[in-house]
């Protein structure tokens, strides 16, 4: 598979990286007529990661020469990824009509904030903007106790570059699907990926709550009426507590050394625990404060209780599971200091 | 004509990740058969919200949303004869998807080694919290706890405040999209080699990859506060600003000179002094919808914090027919979202989710005909 990555941002970059992992030969086209994307191009380690296995050409796609170079590259390409708005793609010859005139077999996949049709097709969006326009920003963070009128607790965008990388995962699947469709129809296709639309299926529960219970979910609502539940402070950081079933509660009580108050049989019922959650949280706080997150998570998991350590990213390098699966792989390009970088989420 | 026309998928999935993988393939035209044990139902079949608050195994809004375009075959996998029927279905399938805890499929005699013996070129995807092997593979985890394990919560915070739970169900949905990609790639590989593939996908690893740019930028290091919450150090301006109305907000991201110029135009000139105060003064005089339109008209990336009600009325999604109504045999009209990938000139059919076991007879009868 020969792929042209004409995208500027992380979504196109991550899609290209995924496609390279299954054998695509990727050429990245850097268009000098537009500003570089800061997330993909400002840091050399990020550039190296997202452009791995790629050839690279720099062209000005607003010039006749640049357009000619693009056409030459696309003559025998199977697929091209673009992330510009239509009003930027069309004058540069990156739209499907222009490219299919050069190569009728090419599959062109657009990944844009709002999609390439509709009234917002030429609107701009960052990760944060897409998160807000998808409805997810309004609901993030989850389970937030409201402080006064909530004016000091605005909606949060999603963590880091999650939106772009998530859209990249979606785009990689879209490209392969477009290639399969080409096999069926014998001709090239345009595949339109809207970053906003890609996010919306993550809100199935909240959509159902609105359709069937008339509830407009927000970050100030509890999603699950379970207790104890959520992120709690411990000795060296935070842990995520999740008591879903009766045996989870029994396991947690055992971890705490079976304190007398917790042996009250009424606590076996989630409804009772939920109604008394504030009291329970006060009672468990001293025990949590005396134990580190790794120990709490380990002792919980030994008892099949689904607690988690709230890790920082730097903690991932020390997770035995990730080491055993060789998730991180060594990277050395002779320019950057050697480092470990994340690989694929399945053994290859 | 659809990309996966003629591809047969068996979906042993439950809850989120497995069913969404299979639903993604069903949206692409694959013939997806969901194998359900009537005496061990998917937890989502037993959870609301339900239409008219009337509970029922065919009425769950969440289940029906993520199992559209599928068939349902009811088989008790703990019964020898019915398990054999499941294996017969594998013989006719191209892809098997499951997201049980590691070891369950082996106990059922439906693990990859066994299925490969039945169908040598079968493609099987197992999605689990931590992966099938390794010292923590038996750890118990759900989507929200993987947000914690993977570091996502640590970036989700107000400035200098504790980590917070993340909205969405990204460990599950991102894993599903990753698995769908891997399955389609395996189908391509099978065309050229004739070989099947086993995909042992770890949701923890997918969740970590959602932060790949930070992992490579700060290997083994603390992530600077400049990346936490709504901040973005690569933006000239980025923040959430209060608008006219109750809990009304707009996100503004100024990445480049064009956006900066647009913002200054909107504000009536380049602000002297406190830029944040000048932006807040302007946004407070506008509703999120007004601010969104005015800023975008000046090429400033901006987005209103839409709630679900506003999302359903959003003119872009309406113009793209993103929310659609299908007729469900028990629930009646049900609103569902469109497939997330749109192919020019191809309009896939969107069918309501199946009733429990509604296709058992027809699917098993077809199996006997093939025999």
List chain A residues with CB under 8 Å of B208: 316, 322, 327, 342
Q: Are residues A158 and A11 in the same domain?
A: yes
List chain A residues with CB under 8 Å of B52: 212
Cα of A95 to nearest chain B Cα, Å: 13
Instruction: Please write the tens of the pLDDT for every residue from B290-347.
Output: 999 999 999 999 999 999 999 999 999 999 999 999 999 999 999 999 999 999 988 7
Cα of B166 to nearest chain A Cα, Å: 5
Query: What span, in angstroms and rounded, lies between the C-alpha atoms of A335 and B20?
Result: 41
What mean pLDDT comes out for the span A318-334?
A: 95
Q: Are residues A239 and A153 in the same domain?
A: no
Q: Are strands B8-11 and B95-98 parallel, antiparallel or unpaired?
A: parallel
pLDDT for B103 equals 96
List chain A residues with CB under 8 Å of B99: none
Q: Are residues A11 and A144 in the same domain?
A: yes
CB atoms within 10 A of CB B365: 9
pLDDT for A277 equals 95
What mean pLDDT comes out for the span A271-297?
A: 97
pLDDT for B371 equals 62
What mean pLDDT comes out for the span A272-281?
A: 95
CATH code (residue A246): 3.30.1540.10
Cα of A129 to nearest chain B Cα, Å: 5
Cα of B147 to nearest chain A Cα, Å: 8
Residue B254 pLDDT class (50, 70, 90 cuts): very high
Q: Which helix (H) or strand (E) holds B154?
A: helix B152-155
Instruction: Please write the tens of the pLDDT for every residue from A213-248.
Output: 999 999 999 888 899 999 999 999 999 999 988 999
Instruction: Please write the tens of the pLDDT for every residue from B11-58.
Output: 999 999 999 999 999 999 999 999 999 999 999 999 889 999 999 999
pLDDT for A53 equals 65
Q: Are residues A85 and A172 in the same domain?
A: yes
Determine, yes or no, domain membership for A184. Answer: yes
Determine, yes or no, domain membership for A81. Answer: yes
Number of independent structural domains in chain A: 2
Query: What span, in angstroms and rounded, lies between the C-alpha atoms of B214 and A253?
Result: 38
Residues in chain B: 371
B160 touches chain A (CB under 8 A): no
pLDDT for A348 equals 81
Query: A317 vs B219: CB contact, 8 Å cut-off?
Result: yes
pLDDT for A91 equals 98
CB atoms within 10 A of CB B349: 9
Q: Any bridge partners for residue B316, and if so which?
A: none
Q: Are residues A256 and A176 in the same domain?
A: no
Query: B337 vs A307: CB contact, 8 Å cut-off?
Result: no
CATH code (residue A124): 3.40.50.10540
Q: Are residues A182 and A246 in the same domain?
A: no
Which of A10, A151, A176 has its CB closest to that of B188?
A: A176
Q: What is the DSSP letter of B277?
A: H
B276 touches chain A (CB under 8 A): no
Cα of B289 to nearest chain A Cα, Å: 11
pLDDT for A333 equals 87
Q: What is the CATH number of domain B8-210+326-370?
A: 3.40.50.10540
Instruction: Please write the tens of the pLDDT for every residue from A26-42.
Output: 999 999 999 999 899 98
Residues in chain A: 348
What residue ranges in A83-156 does DSSP mark as E strands?
A: 107-112
DSSP string, A172-235: HHHHHHHHHHHHHHSS-EEEEEEHHHHHGGGGHHHHHHHHHH-----TTS-SS--SSEEEEEET
From the list B27, B42, B147, B172, the catalytic residue is B172
Determine, yes or no, domain membership for A8. Answer: yes
Q: Are residues A35 and A127 in the same domain?
A: yes
Phi, psi dihedrals of residue B276, rounded to the nearest 5°: -60, -45
Query: What span, in angstroms and rounded, lies between the C-alpha atoms of A109 and A134?
Result: 21
Query: A321 vs B137: CB contact, 8 Å cut-off?
Result: yes
Domain assignments of chain B as residue spans, ordered by start: 8-210+326-370, 228-313
Burial class (CB in 10 A: 0-12, 13-18, 19+), B350: middle
Percent above pLDDT 90 for chain B: 93
Please give the structure tokens belonging to residue B113.
Answer: 């080694």
What mean pLDDT comes out for the span B8-13?
A: 98
Q: For residue A169, what is the nearest residue in chain B, using CA coordinates?
A: B178
Sign of CA dihedral B255, B257, B258, B264: positive
Q: Of A290, A93, A92, A82, which is closest to residue A192 (Cα–Cα)?
A: A82
Instruction: Please write the tens of the pLDDT for every residue from A95-144.
Output: 999 999 999 999 999 999 999 999 999 999 999 999 999 999 999 999 99
B182 touches chain A (CB under 8 A): yes
Q: Which domain holds residue A81?
A: 2-200
Domain boundary among A182, A200, A218: A200
Q: Of B78, B74, B69, B77, which is closest to residue B57 (Cα–Cα)?
A: B74
What mean pLDDT comes out for the span B249-270?
A: 97
B65 touches chain A (CB under 8 A): yes
Determine, yes or no, domain membership for A128. Answer: yes
Q: Are residues A53 and A138 in the same domain?
A: yes
Q: For the domain made up of B228-313, give the CATH fold.
A: formyl-coa transferase, domain 3 (3.30.1540)
Q: Number of residue pairs across A and B with CB atoms under 8 Å?
A: 461
Query: B316 vs A161: CB contact, 8 Å cut-off?
Result: no
Q: Are residues A191 and A279 in the same domain?
A: no
Instruction: Please write the tens of the pLDDT for every residue from A147-166.
Output: 988 888 999 999 999 999 99
Please give the structure tokens belonging to residue A335.
Answer: 């320019």
Which of B301, B308, B316 has its CB closest to that of A217?
A: B308
Burial class (CB in 10 A: 0-12, 13-18, 19+), B347: exposed
Q: Are residues A175 and A265 in the same domain?
A: no
Query: What span, in angstroms and rounded, lies between the C-alpha atoms of A207 and A226?
Result: 21
- Give the helix ranges, DSSP H, for chain A: 10-21, 38-41, 44-50, 64-74, 86-89, 96-102, 127-133, 162-185, 195-199, 204-213, 246-255, 270-275, 277-289, 293-302, 320-324
Q: Are strands A189-194 and A107-112 parallel, antiparallel or unpaired?
A: parallel
Percent above pLDDT 70 for chain A: 99
Active-site residue, B246 included: no
What mean pLDDT comes out for the span B132-141?
A: 94
Q: Are strands A237-242 and A308-309 parallel, antiparallel or unpaired?
A: antiparallel
Q: Are residues A151 and A262 in the same domain?
A: no
The overall average pLDDT reported for chain A is 96
Q: Are residues A166 and A273 in the same domain?
A: no
Q: What burial letters (b/e) apply to B246-280, b meaning 16+ CB within 10 Å?
A: ebbbbbbbbbbeebeebbbbbeeeebeeebeebbe
In a mutational test of the B interface, the residue from A107, A154, A335, A338 whose CB has the highest number of chain B CBs within 10 Å is: A154
pLDDT for B287 equals 98
């Amino acid at each position: 598979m020969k792929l042209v990555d004409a995208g500027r941002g992380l979504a196109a970059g991550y899609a290209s990286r995924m496609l390279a992992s299954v054998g695509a030969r990727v050429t990245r086209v850097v268009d000098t007529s537009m500003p570089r994307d800061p997330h993909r191009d400002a840091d050399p380690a990020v550039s190296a990661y997202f452009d791995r296995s790629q050839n690279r050409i720099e062209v000005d796609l607003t010039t006749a020469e640049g357009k000619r170079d693009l056409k030459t590259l696309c003559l025998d390409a199977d697929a091209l990824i673009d992330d510009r708005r239509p009003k930027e793609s069309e004058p540069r010859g990156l739209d499907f009509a222009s490219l299919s005139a050069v190569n009728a077999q090419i599959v062109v996949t657009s990944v844009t904030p709002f999609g390439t049709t509709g009234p917002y097709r030429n609107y701009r969006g960052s990760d944060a903007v897409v998160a807000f326009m998808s409805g997810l920003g309004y609901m993030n963070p989850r389970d937030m106790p409201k402080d006064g009128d909530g004016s000091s607790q605005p909606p949060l965008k999603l963590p880091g570059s999650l939106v772009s990388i998530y859209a990249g995962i979606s785009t990689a699947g879209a490209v392969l699907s477009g290639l399969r469709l080409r096999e069926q129809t014998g001709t090239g296709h345009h595949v339109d990926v809207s970053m906003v639309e890609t996010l919306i299926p993550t809100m199935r529960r909240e959509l159902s709550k609105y359709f069937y219970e008339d509830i407009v979910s927000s970050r100030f609502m509890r999603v699950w009426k379970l207790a104890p539940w959520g992120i709690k402070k411990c000795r060296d950081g935070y842990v995520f507590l999740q008591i879903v079933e009766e045996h989870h509660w029994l396991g947690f009580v055992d971890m705490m050394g079976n304190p007398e108050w917790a042996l009250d049989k009424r606590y076996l019922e989630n409804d009772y625990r939920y109604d008394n959650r504030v009291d329970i949280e006060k009672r468990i706080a001293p025990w949590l404060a005396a134990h580190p997150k790794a120990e709490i998570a380990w002792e919980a998991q030994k008892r099949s209780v689904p607690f988690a350590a709230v890790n920082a990213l730097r903690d991932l390098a020390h997770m035995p599971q990730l080491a055993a699966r060789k998730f991180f792989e060594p990277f050395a390009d002779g320019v950057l200091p050697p480092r470990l970088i994340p690989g694929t989420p399945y053994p290859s | 004509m659809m990309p996966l026309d003629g591809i047969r998928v068996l979906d042993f999935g439950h809850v989120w990740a497995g069913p969404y993988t299979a639903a993604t393939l069903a949206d692409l035209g694959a013939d997806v058969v969901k194998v359900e044990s009537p005496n061990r139902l998917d937890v989502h079949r037993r959870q609301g919200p339900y239409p008219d608050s009337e509970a029922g195994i065919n009425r769950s809004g969440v289940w029906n949303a993520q199992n559209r375009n599928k068939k349902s075959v009811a088989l008790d996998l703990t019964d020898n004869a019915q398990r054999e029927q499941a294996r017969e279905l594998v013989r006719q399938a191209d892809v098997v998807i499951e997201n049980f805890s590691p070891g369950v499929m082996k106990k059922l005699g439906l693990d990859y080694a066994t299925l490969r013996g039945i169908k040598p070129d079968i493609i099987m995807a197992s999605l689990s919290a931590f992966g099938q092997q390794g010292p923590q593979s038996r750890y118990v985890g759900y989507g929200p706890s993987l947000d914690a394990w993977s570091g996502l919560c640590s970036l989700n915070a107000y400035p200098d405040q504790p980590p917070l739970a993340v909205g969405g169900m990204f460990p599950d949905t991102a894993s599903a999209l990753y698995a769908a990609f891997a399955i389609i790639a395996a189908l391509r590989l099978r065309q050229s080699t004739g070989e099947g593939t086993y995909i042992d996908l770890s949701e923890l690893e997918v969740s970590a990859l959602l932060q790949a740019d930070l992992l490579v930028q700060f290997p083994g290091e603390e992530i600077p506060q400049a990346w936490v919450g709504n901040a973005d150090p690569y933006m000239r301006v980025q923040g959430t600003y209060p608008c006219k109305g109750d809990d009304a907000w707009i996100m503004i991201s100024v990445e480049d000179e064009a956006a900066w110029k647009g913002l200054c135009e909107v504000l009536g000139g380049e602000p002297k002094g406190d830029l944040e105060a000048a932006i807040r003064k302007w946004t407070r005089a506008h509703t999120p919808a007004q601010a969104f339109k005015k800023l975008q008209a000046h090429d400033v990336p901006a987005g209103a914090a839409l709630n679900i009600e506003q999302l359903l009325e959003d003119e872009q999604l309406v113009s793209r027919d993103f929310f659609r109504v299908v007729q469900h045999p028990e629930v009646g009209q049900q609103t569902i979202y469109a497939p997330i990938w749109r192919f020019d000139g191809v309009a896939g059919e969107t069918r309501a989710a199946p009733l429990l076991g509604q296709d058992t007879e027809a699917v098993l009868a077809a199996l006997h005909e093939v025999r």
